Amino acid sequence: MHDYVHGRARPEWERDNDSWAVSTDHFIEVVGTLVQQHGRILLGREFNRSEKCNHRCMNALGYVCTCSCRARNHGGGRWMSGWRIADDTTLMTNGRSWSWTILEKIPPGTSRP
């Protein structure tokens, strides 16, 4: 994982979850790089089921989203440039809501479905 990101990102392995964790500031860089490099990845993101999606989410310029749309509406989806959602599900873990999404690279010349 460390080979895919610059030194400031500092991804950390979380043994309890058997997964990598990275700060929100480096999320797009890490995810985008992994999708482009491998073509397909499984991504877990925490979200808040009670936080309703609204115009602030849908018109956002950044990519930080914790609302119930699970970032589907966030900034009109612009944060997923070059990749798309292939499949997803939600799961409760230790009282926290998680979205597990399979992201895949969009082949050149293909439009997003």
* Residue 111 in domain: no
Domain count for the chain: 1
Q: How confident is the model at residue 6 (pLDDT cuts 50, 70, 90)?
A: low
* Residue 11 in domain: yes
* Helix (H) or strand (E) segment spanning residue 36: helix 27-38
* Residue 43 in domain: yes
What is the reported pTM?
Answer: 0.71
* Residue 40 in domain: yes
Residue 111 has pLDDT above 70, yes or no: no
pLDDT in tens, 8-64: 777 888 888 788 888 777 777 788 888 888 999 998 888 888 989 898 888 888 777
By DSSP bridging, strand 40-47 and strand 19-21 are: unpaired
Query: What is the span of the domain harbouring residue 41?
Result: 2-105
CATH number for 64: 3.30.110
**Dihedrals phi, psi of 8, to nearest 5 degrees:** -75, -25
